[in-house]
Amino acid sequence: MSTKPRTLYQKIWDAHVVDRRDDGTSLVYIDRHIIHEVTSPQAFESLRAASRPVRRPDLTLAVPDHNLPTTARKDASGNILPIADPQSAQQLAALQKNAPEFGIRYIDSTDPEQGIVHVVGPEQGFSLPGATIVCGDSHTACHGGLGALAFGIGTSEVEHVLATQTLLLKQSKTMEVRVEGTLGAGVTPKDVILHIIGLIGTAGGTGHVIEYRGNVFEEMSIEGRLTVCNMSIEGGARAGLIAPDEATFAYIKGRPYAPKGEEWDKAVAWWKSLATDEGATFDKTVSVRAEDIQPTVTWGTSPEDTSAIGGLVPAPEDFADASKQSAVKVSLEYMGLTPGTRLTDIEVQNVFIGSCTNSRIEDIRAAAEVLKGRHKADNVKWAIVVPGSGLVKQQAEAEGLDKIIIDAGLEWREPGCSACLAMNPDKVPAGERCASTSNRNFTGRQGPGARTHLMSPAMAAAAAVTGKLTDVRDLVG
């Protein structure tokens, strides 16, 4: 192995190369594969057609999330309720059948461990630092918060991993995003990542793997790191990572699939060796001062359309690039917004707190803190809080957070992807606005014609209370 200083990404990469080809591609070993119902049926279909088995079912975990309704899954007498949408039911049934048939551990929709793939992986100790982790969902980058090299793949790649436990990859360039200083009150990990995406743009990280560095990430909770890495893809990067440290080890220790005993000690020693070496260089570096980050929201239909909550809806002319100008024009039209409007004057009819970006216990706590003793505004017609997993749900209920949420007039749901994407019954009606803690504000993402404003859980809770986009610092001081 070379003695040249290496980055975290480089070290994980080197440890997983099975074969290097002359043309620059490498066959890379995959340690953990998580599958869900949407991107796997066609992969199993192909395996079956070619009579190929799954190479390492023991490194694969299946859990349904995208299609599941978040309303009660069992009736009063404990019978499992049928899924109304026949196509959703068909996809869910396919996973339920395919996983065991190929020897893969399947978490059922009514198991307490069920949840969103990117919440379940870390929570079960299935996702580990230094591991290569893939899943047929672009927010797999999320697991990078533990110091894993994790990225989303398409269905053909799902098939490739199932059959061979490897992927053919080209090494990415490296990008350092450094945030240093002290975050102000009310500024959360979601604000940090929205701010970064606003700065670098949705193509800023294309071809790169981002490593988030600096004291802000070192001091950040694991939940927060998962939130930050989750949205790396919105910044164009395929993966994002944060070096594993004591906080990471403490988070993982004792989880069901985490290493134990002697293996644990060996793991920690190796994980510690993964941090980027002094003197290692990145292909690109971006530095942000923590003090410059405000509670942030999006106003447009691209995740780079961000603004501090104190700002105004921009005009197309505010942008230098001609094609961005026309994109902004289309986007403002879709969003039904007039340039110059104060962001805090924008009314919302829906609030969604959930998704793999913000549905972990810390997120539910942050929302509950704002909601405590308050009630949602009358103009907010639909407001739901969707825990990321059954275990998050249990934990929140043990802390009494569900009660705070329900007392505030919001609904407390069953775990799943919910209104992050318009694939299950949770949708935002056309023309209506949603304060959402998810990761994408694309046209139609939350339902045809739905208008999404991305923000942190605390900010979404504040919007529920006032019925408008709101600076949470005005409510909770």
Partner 1 sequence: MEPISHVSGRAIPFGRKNVDTDVIIPAAWLKTITREGLGQGAFEAVKQEPDNVFTDPEYAGAPILIAGDNFGCGSSREHAAWALLDMGVTCVIAPSFSDIFSSNAFKNGILTVALPQDAVDRLLEVAKSDPIDVDLEAQSVTTPFQDRFAFEIDPFRKHCLLEGLDEVGLTMAQGDAIKAHEARAKEQMPFLARTISTVD
Per the annotation, binding residues for [4Fe-4S] cluster are 356, 417, 420
Question: Cβ 202 to ligand SF4, closest distance in Å?
Answer: 15
Residue ranges of the annotated binding site are: 356, 417, 420
- Give the angle 101-105-111 at the CA atoms, nearest 5°: 115
- 231 torsion bin: left (phi>0), alpha (psi -120 to 50), beta (else): alpha
Hey, what are 100's tokens?
Answer: 């065991």
Q: Which residues contact 327 (CB under 8 A, 6 or more apart)?
A: 302
Q: Does 266 bind partner 1 (CB under 8 A)?
A: yes
Q: Does 189 bind partner 1 (CB under 8 A)?
A: no
Q: Which residues contact 248 (CB under 8 A, 6 or more apart)?
A: 129, 146, 147, 222, 271
Question: Cβ 214 to partner 1, closest distance in Å?
Answer: 26
Q: Does 264 bind partner 1 (CB under 8 A)?
A: yes
Q: Which does 356 bind (CB under 5 to 8 A by kind): ligand SF4, partner 1, none?
A: ligand SF4
Residue (of 15, 101, 27) closest to 57 by Cα position: 101
Q: Which does 117 bind (CB under 5 to 8 A by kind): partner 1, ligand SF4, none?
A: ligand SF4
d(CA 82, CA 87): 12
Q: Does 91 bind partner 1 (CB under 8 A)?
A: yes
Residues 356-385 that bind ligand SF4 (CB under 6 A): 356
Q: Could you say which of 123, 157, 223, 414 contacts partner 1 (CB under 8 A)?
A: 157
Question: Interface mask (CB under 8 A) for partner 1, residues 117-156, using x and -?
Answer: ---------x-x-xx----xxx-------------xxxxx
Q: Does 88 bind ligand SF4 (CB under 6 A)?
A: no
Among residues 270 and 372, whose Cβ is nearest to partner 1? 270
| # of chain residues touching partner 1 (CB under 8 A) | 82
Q: Does 421 bind ligand SF4 (CB under 6 A)?
A: yes
d(CA 107, CA 78): 18
CA-to-CA dists, residue 194 to 231, 250, 291, 308, 309, angstroms? 8, 27, 15, 10, 12
Q: Which does 355 bind (CB under 5 to 8 A by kind): partner 1, ligand SF4, none?
A: ligand SF4
Residue (of 215, 212, 192) closest to 358 by Cα position: 192
d(CA 347, CA 370): 18
Question: Cβ 265 to partner 1, closest distance in Å?
Answer: 10
Among residues 188 and 355, whose Cβ is nearest to partner 1? 355
Residues 15-34 that bind partner 1 (CB under 8 A): 15-16, 18-19, 21, 23-25, 27, 29, 31
Question: Cβ 141 to ligand SF4, closest distance in Å?
Answer: 10
Residues 294-353 that bind partner 1 (CB under 8 A): 302, 323, 327
What SS3 class is residue 252? helix
Q: Which does 389 bind (CB under 5 to 8 A by kind): ligand SF4, partner 1, none?
A: none
Q: Could you say which of 118, 195, 225, 445 contacts ligand SF4 (CB under 6 A)?
A: 118
- Other C-beta atoms closer than 10 Å to the C-beta of 254 total 10
Among residues 137 and 362, whose Cβ is nearest to partner 1? 137
What's the gap between Cα 122 and its chain centre? 12
- Give the angle 433-441-192 at the CA atoms, nearest 5°: 110
Q: Could you say which of 34, 63, 92, 117 contacts ligand SF4 (CB under 6 A)?
A: 117
Q: Does 274 bind ligand SF4 (CB under 6 A)?
A: no
Question: Cβ 36 to ligand SF4, closest distance in Å?
Answer: 7
Burial class (CB in 10 A: 0-12, 13-18, 19+), 17: middle
Among residues 259 and 311, whose Cβ is nearest to partner 1? 259
- Other C-beta atoms closer than 10 Å to the C-beta of 270 total 14
Among residues 237 and 288, whose Cβ is nearest to ligand SF4? 237
- Other C-beta atoms closer than 10 Å to the C-beta of 276 total 21
- Other C-beta atoms closer than 10 Å to the C-beta of 24 total 8
Hey, what are 66's tokens?
Answer: 């995208």
| # of chain residues touching ligand SF4 (CB under 6 A) | 14
**DSSP label at 277?**
P
Among residues 160 and 213, whose Cβ is nearest to partner 1? 160
Cβ(99)–Cβ(64) under 8 Å?
no
Binding piece for ligand SF4, criterion CB under 6 A, among 1-9, 115-123, 184-192, 467-475? 115-123
The residue ranges that bind ligand SF4 (CB under 6 A) are: 65-66, 116-118, 137, 139, 355-356, 417, 420-421, 438-439
